Homo-oligomer: A and B are copies of this chain.
Amino acid sequence: MNTETYCIAGRLRMLARVATGLYNDAFTGENVTFAQAGLLMHIFAQPGIRQSALSKTLQIEKSAMSRDVQLMYKNGWLTDNRRGLFLTEEGSLLAKRCHKIWKELNQRVHAELGPEAVNGLTLLSESLLTKLLS
């Protein structure tokens, strides 16, 4: 691969599509997408976290986050009328089940990719986030 043909953004987008498909498959039994499962797990780990904080951490635009959260609320996973995000009992139980699924899958993926590839992602990640993040 040379500079001419190797597009950083294009490659990252493709890998994200592939990984998303793989992780989505793991959650079909729970009827959640990986994106939703991820948010559930974040809120489970940090109850009361604000949309703005998740937005910054995950680099998701605030309006996109707003809609993700609205959907989770509609699904009965979030409580109402509170400053910050809190899971309902149902949301909490689902988050725990998702975490179990995620942990097993993610460990398997780490193992299959191998330490070099995983380390490659770490290197890229650090470089990209420190140097290119406005």
Give A residues with C-beta under 8 Å from B.
1, 3-4, 6-20, 22-23, 34-35, 38, 58-60, 102-103, 106-107, 109-110, 112-114, 116-129, 131-133
Contacts and interface: CB of A to CB of B under 8 A. Distances in A.
Contact of A124 (B8, B58, B118): B118
Given A16-B15, A20-B9, A3 B110 contact: yes
Contacts of A126: 117
A125 B9 contact: no
A20 B17 CA distance: 13
Contact of A12 (B15, B129, B131): B15
A118 B59 contact: no
B106 A11 contact: no
A14 B114 CA distance: 21
Nearest to A2: B110
A18 B106 contact: no
Contacts of A124: 15, 113, 117-118, 120-121, 124
A122 B120 contact: yes
